[in-house]
């Protein structure tokens, strides 16, 4: 199953090039764009996690937004109500969500395929109501405001000192999110390339065959669930920090679907595609929204794109079109083009 040394080196080179590009990118884009790109990093983390579960282990989750909610609220509650410095809450959010993933993963062992998908979806649907009810802890529908707090780095979008340099708030958000995304990307890669990754894939392809070759399905499935939820929790924590305000509506049910869309666009079982998936879910709505502002666009485009509901229609159409064009997602395309990703 191991690929040749050349493939390995190429992958590291690719990673280094991508990291370098990401590192210098804020120089070439506006300050605001850096904040948008920070969201790409956040979605990258969440979709990476979902990919570990769905793409590699074959367990479909329609409720990953719920784990983001748990991570987001862990951060928000600690920062707002307990004055914990926001940076420390990020790993905590990951651990809390990971634990929730483990707890959910155990009963989920009895479910597979569509039943599991529905069960996870149920969690995603129910959680906002729970959050709204647990007013004492979560602030209910009033939400939790992080903006302006001392425990919130940058307080009111002020410049942040990092390694002796002053970064604008948006750049700070960008580097924070991408650093964590980079670390988690490497972690996912290390996990998936070894024995664990093989076990995950074996489970996905045939649980019976995997079990007969000595893979413990229960252990690996719950591991995948926990790991995946941990990623989602970290993403949720960063999402809360980037949004400055957390309410049940911050993590709507549709967020879970958005993540799955991102994973499918990325190509299930592809790590590099995840970047493309994250760009897709972050920027497509923004681009659609901007259609009406395009001077060159014909009059009817400008008019129609401001009709209620039309952005959703365009989003759906773009998604169908993309999947017709790239049935294996962007990862599948990359695979076909040059075998840059690992073959199955």
Given a contact cutoff of 8 angstroms between Cβ atoms, the answer to whether 73 and 240 are in contact is yes
Taking the complex as a whole, the smallest distance from the CB of residue 264 to another protein amounts, in Å, to: 20
* Nearest-angstrom CA–CA distance, 281 and 238: 16
Taking the complex as a whole, the smallest distance from the CB of residue 232 to another protein amounts, in Å, to: 15
Q: Does 1 bind another protein (CB under 8 A)?
A: no
Of 13, 127, 12, nearest to 73 (Cα)? 127
- 3-state DSSP assignment of residue 182: helix
For another protein, the closer of residues 285 and 328 by Cβ is 285
* Nearest-angstrom CA–CA distance, 94 and 88: 11
For another protein, the closer of residues 127 and 203 by Cβ is 127
Rg (CA), the chain: 20
| Residues in region 143-162 near another protein by CB under 8 A | 143, 145, 147-148, 156-157, 162
Q: What is the x/- site pattern for another protein, positions 286-315, by CB under 8 A?
A: --xx---x------------xxxxxxx--x
| Residues in region 6-65 near another protein by CB under 8 A | 8, 11-12, 15-16, 19-20, 22-27, 30-33, 35-36, 39
Handedness of CA 185, 187, 192, 193 (dihedral sign): positive
Given a contact cutoff of 8 angstroms between Cβ atoms, the answer to whether 116 and 108 are in contact is yes
Taking the complex as a whole, the smallest distance from the CB of residue 214 to another protein amounts, in Å, to: 25
Q: Does 324 bind another protein (CB under 8 A)?
A: no
| Residues in region 220-259 near another protein by CB under 8 A | 239, 242-245, 247-254
Q: Does 283 bind another protein (CB under 8 A)?
A: no
Taking the complex as a whole, the smallest distance from the CB of residue 211 to another protein amounts, in Å, to: 29
Q: Which residue has the tokens 């109500």?
A: 81
| Residues in region 82-141 near another protein by CB under 8 A | 125, 128-129, 132, 140-141
Q: Which residue has the tokens 């409720």?
A: 63
Q: What is the DSSP letter of 145?
A: E
Q: Does 5 bind another protein (CB under 8 A)?
A: yes
Q: Residue from 51, 170, 270, 341 that binds another protein (CB under 8 A)? A: 170
Given a contact cutoff of 8 angstroms between Cβ atoms, the answer to whether 276 and 326 are in contact is no
Size of the site for another protein (CB under 8 A): 75
* Nearest-angstrom CA–CA distance, 268 and 316: 19
Q: Does 179 bind another protein (CB under 8 A)?
A: yes
């Amino acid at each position: 199953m191991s690929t040749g040394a050349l493939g390995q080196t190429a992958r590291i080179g690719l990673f280094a090039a991508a990291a370098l590009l990401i590192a210098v990118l804020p120089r070439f884009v506006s300050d605001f764009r850096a904040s948008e790109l920070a969201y790409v990093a956040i979605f990258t983390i969440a979709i990476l996690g979902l990919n570990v579960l769905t793409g590699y282990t074959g367990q479909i989750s329609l409720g990953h937004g719920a784990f983001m909610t748990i991570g987001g609220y862990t951060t928000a509650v600690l920062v707002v109500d307990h004055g914990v410095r926001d940076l420390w809450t990020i790993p905590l959010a990951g651990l809390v969500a990971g634990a929730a993933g483990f707890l959910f993963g155990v009963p989920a062992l009895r479910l597979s395929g569509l039943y599991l998908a529905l069960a996870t979806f149920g969690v995603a649907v129910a959680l906002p109501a729970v959050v709204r009810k647990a007013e004492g802890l979560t602030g209910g529908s009033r939400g939790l405001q992080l903006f302006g707090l001392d425990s919130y780095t940058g307080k009111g979008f002020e410049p942040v000192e990092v390694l002796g340099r002053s970064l604008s708030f948006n750049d700070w958000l960008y580097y924070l999110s991408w650093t964590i995304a980079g670390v988690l990307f490497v972690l996912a890669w290390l996990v998936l390339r070894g024995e664990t990754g093989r076990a995950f894939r074996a489970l996905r392809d045939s649980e019976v065959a995997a079990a007969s070759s000595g893979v413990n399905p229960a252990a690996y499935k719950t591991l995948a669930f926990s790991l995946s939820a941990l990623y989602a929790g970290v993403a949720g924590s960063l999402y809360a920090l980037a949004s400055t305000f957390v309410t049940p509506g911050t993590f709507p049910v549709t967020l879970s679907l958005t993540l799955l869309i991102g994973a499918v666009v990325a190509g299930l079982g592809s790590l590099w595609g995840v970047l493309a998936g994250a760009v897709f879910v972050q920027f497509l709505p923004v681009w659609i929204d901007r259609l009406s502002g395009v001077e060159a666009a014909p009059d009817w485009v400008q008019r129609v794109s401001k009709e209620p509901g039309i952005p959703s229609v365009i989003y759906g159409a773009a998604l169908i079109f993309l999947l017709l064009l790239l049935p294996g997602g962007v990862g599948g395309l990359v695979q076909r083009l040059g075998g840059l990703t690992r073959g199955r």
